[in-house]
Amino acid sequence: MSDDYPSKQGKGGELHQQAETDANTMTTQQGAPIADDQSSLSAGQRGPTLLEDQILREKLFHFDHERIPERVVHARGFGAHGYFETYDSLADLTCADLFQRKGEKTPAFVRFSTVAGNKGSGDLARDVRGFAVKLYTQEGNWDIVGNNIPVFFIQDAIKFPDLVHAAKQEPDRGFPQAQTAHDNFWDFVTLTPESVHMLMWTMSDRAIPRSFRFMEGFGVHTFRMVDAKGKSTFVKFHWKPKGGLQSVVWDEAVKLNGADPDFHRRDLWDAICNGHYPEWELGLQVFDEAFAEKFEFDVLDPTKIIPEEQVPVRPVGRLVLDRVVDNFFAETEQVAFCTQNIVPGIDFTDDPLLQGRNFSYLDTQLKRLGGPNFTHIPINAPKCPMHHFQQDGHMAMKNPTGRANYEPNSWGKETGGPRENPEKGFTSYPANVSGDKQRIRSETFADHYSQARQFYISQTEEEQTHIADAFVFELSKVEKVAIRERMVAHLLNVDTALARAVAKGLGIDPLPNAAEPAVPPRDDLPASDALSILKNGPKRFQGRKLGILLSDGADGELLSTIERALKKEGAVGETVAPHSGEIRDDRGRAVAVTHKVDGGPSVLFDAVVVVPGKEGAKVLGALPPAQNFVRDAFHHKKFIGFNAQGQTLLDSVGIAYAKDQGCLSLKDEASVQAFLRQCAELRHWARG
């Protein structure tokens, strides 16, 4: 297709006098103005509707076809626009156009998602999160279709349909929705030991992020970068959030799904609309064949990481999301990511999962978007010139306009259309490939436990407890005891204390024998701090949200101090009160109420302050949602700020704040600032 063929046709629109169009007049799809959109055309006042009613028929016809198939996986997602900015030229590594010039800005669209749940499921499911980035480079669209976890459940694409069938609703009953806490999932994964490393990640708090803004992204597979001379280097892609890592605790996740099932979408939407643009650094782990040869595991095995201590992550640019979508369906729903979308300078490796994905994504778009022309949809269209001879098909928006639609052709430059470009064009890296055709898993993929253990020992004690609790929770929903035991048998190859804790929670006694490993698990891999969320948290409270529980008569001066401090910190405050509308503080100033207390539980916030008026403290103390507000904040180990009136409320609910370093008394500017500094730690883990 060419945008710049000379056209022989007259422009239809120019034939008309510019019509006086009223932008507000409702029309049919054909552009005919509509006089009455309230009643269908009928024979008589109470008579039958007439088939002749073209306006009714067009409206219903279109409505009846509004839905497209939701994604088989990653159905629930949320996207935003932004840009990628290159820090420095990477010409020494790759000829990819977007990496050639320091400061180059490349438009980007990112879609985050959960995997297992349907389109309408809750945001806080325990699940992997998709982290798919489309970079509209000047030499084509490059899609990095990654996850927030750097490894995957399976090593070979042929197992993907089984994994997904097992994870989604059970086929006979159609539930459970958006969760892996059921027999089929655990049956499959316990019979598939290569899943064990990934299970450690999905049972960790990585699978319940606080926000898309505070999670990492990973390309997962090893890719290649190829320079202008054809030299190839292996790379792994990392997205590191500038705001630090943060997750919720499980009890919060459960409650958030009820309080605000759109918690993650709303968070991203609000952050961008408030000008708190989320930002990630793109980091590369770069290594050569020699490293790949000597590394303990196979770099083509997507169930393995390369620890950052062994190959440091080199920051090469930043991704900033600064624009919400105009329309969810047109952009977020219709965006079509394909792992096969790479650009000159980037290439695949033989990772068998990646190879299978390269077939699957293009194929799925055909089903989902209904034809081969989905690249004509603006969100999918490259922002660089396109010239090719592909034509026709459903919904073709732009066909080639010249005489030639084939090549080679002998039509001249004017009408002969595009030509191949051996200098600039994509050239596959000429990797040497040979071998017998066979269905076999490489023996270099056989170690399924050593990195699972490495992940576990890299966690803080608190994080380790969460992992054990998550295994217990999920497996406690599994009916078949043999499946539970099989998981404990695998965990015995990971860490005995973990296996014991899980067995205890499940009432399994005695312990089963350890699963038979294909190769002996190693216990000499050192801990890696990069794998822990808590060791990579934020440095500031910036971008986080404070819940302010108040009532009429609240201390106005203190409220203003809190407001100022939040603004300075770049954090957001939302007020929670016994009633909606506004409250009057003790100076008579009206303060807008964001949430009536029933609709504003403390799980919505990263920290809370309890600063009601004198009478209000009594009213709140008698309200169960207000009691739950403070009890949950305390139980979820959040920082709690309070003044004298707040103290009465905490007393009435029985919160033991006196010796708790995470409960801070707020009096003046200095104490409020000290409180917000503390809040950067996000939780007071020392609270029992």
Judge whether 238 counts as a catalytic residue. no
Minimal distance in Å, beta carbon 441 to ligand HDE?
Answer: 14
What are 86's strand-pairing partners? 317
The neighbour count for residue 38, using CB atoms within 10 Å, is 4
Note whether 607 binds ligand HDE by CB under 6 A.
no
Burial of 3: CB neighbours in 10 Å, binned 0-12, 13-18, 19+: exposed
Minimal distance in Å, beta carbon 304 to ligand HDE?
Answer: 13
How many whole angstroms separate alpha carbon 558 and alpha carbon 477? 47
Judge whether 409 counts as a catalytic residue. no
Q: Catalytic one among 24, 62, 65, 74?
A: 74
Q: Which of 5, 56, 57, 72 binds ligand HDE (CB under 6 A)?
A: 72
Note whether 583 binds ligand HDE by CB under 6 A.
no
Tokens of 517: 């490993």
Contacts (CB under 6 A) with ligand HDE, residues 126-165: 130, 132, 145-147, 152, 157, 160
Question: Binding string, 159-198, against ligand HDE, x = CB under 6 A?
Answer: -x--------------------------------------
Please identify, using beta-carbon distances, which residue of 297 and 337 lies nearer to ligand HDE. Answer: 337
Element (H, E) at 679: helix 669-679
Which of helix, strand or coil describes residue 58?
helix
Contacts (CB under 6 A) with ligand HDE, residues 407-466: none
Buried b (16+ CB within 10 A) or exposed e, 614-633: eebbebbbeeebbbbbbbbb
Contacts (CB under 6 A) with ligand HDE, residues 528-567: none
User: How many angstroms separate the Cα of 686 from the Cα of each of 639, 663, 681?
Assistant: 11, 12, 12
Stretch that binds ligand HDE, among 100-108, 352-360, 370-378, 630-638 (CB under 6 A): 352-360
Tokens of 548: 């302010």
Would you say 127 and 117 are in contact if contact means Cβ atoms under 8 Å apart?
yes
Note whether 77 binds ligand HDE by CB under 6 A.
yes
Count interface residues toward ligand HDE (CB under 6 A). Answer: 25
Note whether 74 binds ligand HDE by CB under 6 A.
yes
Burial of 499: CB neighbours in 10 Å, binned 0-12, 13-18, 19+: buried
Residue closest to ligand HDE when measured from CB atoms:
130
Q: Which of 645, 581, 582 is nearest to 618 (CA)?
A: 645
Q: What is the DSSP string of 281-315?
A: EEEEEEE-HHHHHHSSS-TT-TT----TTTSPPEE
Q: What is the DSSP string of 618-661?
A: HHHHT-HHHHHHHHHHHHTT--EEE-HHHHHHHHHHT---TT-T
Note whether 357 binds ligand HDE by CB under 6 A.
yes
Q: Catalytic one among 141, 147, 148, 643?
A: 147
How many whole angstroms separate alpha carbon 262 and alpha carbon 266? 6
Q: Is the dihedral of CA 484, 486, 489, 490 positive or negative?
A: negative
Question: Binding string, 298-337, against ligand HDE, x = CB under 6 A?
Answer: ----x--------------------------------x-x
Please identify, using beta-carbon distances, which residue of 77 and 543 lies nearer to ligand HDE. Answer: 77
Stretch that binds ligand HDE, among 72-80, 290-298, 397-405, 524-532 (CB under 6 A): 72-80
What are 112's strand-pairing partners? 78, 131
Note whether 380 binds ligand HDE by CB under 6 A.
no
Q: Which of 138, 310, 364, 405 binds ligand HDE (CB under 6 A)?
A: 364
Please identify, using beta-carbon distances, which residue of 77 and 641 lies nearer to ligand HDE. Answer: 77
Minimal distance in Å, beta carbon 178 to ligand HDE?
Answer: 15
Strands of 194-288 (E only): list them: 217-218, 223-226, 232-241, 279-287
Minimal distance in Å, beta carbon 161 to ligand HDE?
Answer: 8
Q: Which of 86, 94, 113, 232 binds ligand HDE (CB under 6 A)?
A: 113
Q: Which of 1, 73, 178, 271 binds ligand HDE (CB under 6 A)?
A: 73
The type of residue at 80 is: A
Look at strands 279-287 and 314-324 and give their pairing: antiparallel
Contacts (CB under 6 A) with ligand HDE, residues 9-68: none
Minimal distance in Å, beta carbon 195 to ligand HDE?
Answer: 12
Q: Which of 353, 379, 576, 630 binds ligand HDE (CB under 6 A)?
A: 353
Note whether 99 binds ligand HDE by CB under 6 A.
no
Minimal distance in Å, beta carbon 428 to ligand HDE?
Answer: 20
Would you say 203 and 214 are in contact if contact means Cβ atoms under 8 Å apart?
no
Q: Which of 118, 233, 360, 594 binds ligand HDE (CB under 6 A)?
A: 360
Please identify, using beta-carbon distances, which residue of 129 and 636 lies nearer to ligand HDE. Answer: 129
Contacts (CB under 6 A) with ligand HDE, residues 216-275: 220
Question: Taking the mean position of all CA atoms in its chain, how far away is CA 687?
Answer: 30
Where on the chain is the footprint of ligand HDE (CB under 6 A)? 71-74, 77, 111, 113, 130, 132, 145-147, 152, 157, 160, 220, 302, 335, 337, 353, 356-357, 360-361, 364
Task: Provide the annotated active-site residues.
Answer: 74, 147
